[in-house]
Amino acid sequence: MDQKQIQMVFLFFFFSLLDEDLAIQSTQHTIQKLNKSKADINNQHIVSELIKQLNAVRSTNRLNRISKEQRDFIQMPSGVSLGAWQQYHRESSSEDMLAVLLCRVLRISEYDVAAGLNVSKGTITHRLSRGLRELGRLITLGESLA
């Protein structure tokens, strides 16, 4: 796997688990599995493995905690707060959040995401649209309260 793919995997686990330690472990685990796999490592394959690993981690660990030690692995763009994403992570449905994360943050095509998740493209589009509207609503609400 190349560096770009590794970064993509880590970003996925970081934004979906919001736990740096777990994100690193999950990244390593996923990379090992993908490297062992004899099939070509394409985006569909990566999406499929990402979801499997995410489900496995969710069943065994408490989630949604940022470790106290700031490791500075992620360099956020200026003016962008992780708070909105954390709130969205808590309040949105998992499917919508994953669609937004895979399609818009990691920039994987909707077609590849649909194949990796074994659903139709229309389903991914629907989830994406709904997820983005929900995210925008939370951001607007947060700004109005600020």
Q: Give the Cα separation of 55 and 78 in Å (integer).
A: 32
The CA distances from residue 124 to 2, 44, 98, 128, in Å, are: 26, 14, 10, 6
Binding mask 27-66 for other proteins (x = CB under 8 A): xxx--------------------------x--xxx-----
Which span (33-41, 43-51, 113-121, 136-144) binds other proteins, by CB under 8 A? 136-144
Cβ-count burial 29-56 (b if 16+ within 10 Å, e if not):
bbbeebeeeeeeeebbbbbbbbbebbee
Using rule CB under 8 A, residue 119 touches other proteins: no
Binding stretches for other proteins (CB under 8 A): 3, 6-7, 10-11, 15, 24-25, 27-29, 56, 59-61, 71-77, 79-80, 84-85, 100, 104-107, 125-126, 128-129, 131-137, 139-140
